[in-house]
Amino acid sequence: MSVAYLRKDRLKKRLFPFFKLGSSVRYDLDRMREAALALEQGAVHLKLKTRVSRSLR
């Protein structure tokens, strides 16, 4: 994630938790991962088996 994205999130969306220490902003990496996983959307990712052609065996 870019600095600009996180800055906009702090001002508008508030999706990612942060700490404000004076003029510094700090993020807990574990909580950032949890928040990002909570936003995940889409289909379930399945491992596709790759076929090896008979000529390569």
**What single string gives the DSSP state of each residue in the chain?**
--HHHHHHIIIII--S--EEETTEEE--HHHHHHHHHHT--SPPP-PPPPPPPGGG-
The reported pLDDT for the residue numbered 42 is 77
Q: Global pTM? A: 0.60
| pLDDT tens per residue, range 14-48 | 899 999 999 999 999 999 999 988 888 876 666 66
Per domain, the residue ranges of the chain are 3-46
Answer with the residue of higher pLDDT: 48 or 13.
Answer: 13
The reported pLDDT for the residue numbered 8 is 95
pLDDT at 56 over 70: no
